[in-house]
Amino acid sequence: MAYQRAASVLAAMMVLFASIPTGVQSTGVCYGVHGDGLPSAADVVQLYKSNGITAMRIYVPDVQTLLALNGTNIGVLMDVADENVPRLAASVSAASDWVKINIQRYLPGVSFRYIAVGNEITGSATQSIVPAMKNLNAALSAAGITGIKVSTAVRMDVLSASSPPSFGRFKDGYMKDVVAVINSTGAPLLLNVYPYFAYAGDTKNIDLDFALFQPSSQVIRDDSFNYTNLFDAMVDAVYKGLMHANTDAPIVISESGWPSDGGVGASADNARTYNQNLINHVGKGTPYRSQPLETYVFSMFNENRKPGAETEKHLSVAPRTTLSVAPRTKRFVCLPTCGTQT
């Protein structure tokens, strides 16, 4: 009975993915695993398939997940874990081994799209990003593997300024090198975009509805564009940064979401509103670049073991779904918010 209740609630909470516009071929969901009581990788992949989710981001090359993805045609964005980036940067041989172990052995059954060389790497570690990207590109080429693009996932603070969007400029030298690499290979820049954190950091000047894609009196007028939501303004600031770095490289939204708890404006209702509006919106592109944005919503599950601010633990696409718990045994029946016990 507990499993039946779980299935029915799960179907209700995943209805937002049934509304993905037909023209948006790649609205995916990030698969974070830092939570207790999560389903098996095979069950998670089945969850994606049963809800028509066509793309997945994973943060490490997990064997069980990759085996479960075989033959599903789910597009995969896979990270090189931050701690492994320096090793791949230092050695073409290490990059070749990484490709052989984590990519080549799963082909052609797994539909790899992108390799993210680290996620939001900062400080001195950024110096390893470009050498690792170059070594991975060389390793893929040597293995005769085509169609997989190598990039890195960055956050908004790679810009020195982002408001208004036309002021977007990359502040650090390594980003110019990143841009040069992706420009030469046709890879996108992977961008993590969270209007929530911009809003939470400046509630006096940012209207909540403006951050949620809801009708708002707040409008940013910049050049010939009118911005009626914060997401577009943030993304276009990065597009402007790319333009000023002399490239028209595309952007893939590698993470975006809204927390259901843990901070100002963080609620289940706001999370549902943001995620649904995000899915509905990205097929239109932005004012500056009106082409569909491939987007990965963060995240499939709440992650109660994730370090950092409390909001980081509450970013499931199905916020506030309670766990069904079998009597006496207290066995978890996992829904998209496994990791949050009520």
Above 50 in pLDDT, residue 320?
Answer: no
Q: Range of 159's domain?
A: 2-333
Residue of 83, 255, 303, 310 marked catalytic: 255
**342 in any annotated domain:** no
151 near 188, Cβ under 8 Å?
yes
**313 in any annotated domain:** yes
Residue 120 catalytic?
Answer: yes
- In whole angstroms, give the CA distance from residue 233 to residue 35: 32
Q: CATH number for the domain including 228?
A: 3.20.20.80
In this prediction, residue 239 has a pLDDT band, given cuts at 50, 70 and 90, of very high
Residue 255 catalytic?
Answer: yes
Burial letters 231-263, b for 16+ CB under 10 A, else e: bbbbbbbbbbbbbebebebbbbbbbbbbbbbeb
pTM recorded for the entire structure: 0.90
**73 in any annotated domain:** yes
User: How many separate domains does the chain show?
Assistant: 1
Question: 160: how many CB neighbours lie within 10 A of its CB?
Answer: 12
**341 in any annotated domain:** no
Per residue in 250-306, pLDDT tens? 999 999 999 999 999 999 999 999 999 999 999 999 999 999 999 999 999 999 999
104 near 145, Cβ under 8 Å?
yes
**155 in any annotated domain:** yes
Above 60 in pLDDT, residue 23?
Answer: no
- In whole angstroms, give the CA distance from residue 294 to residue 284: 11
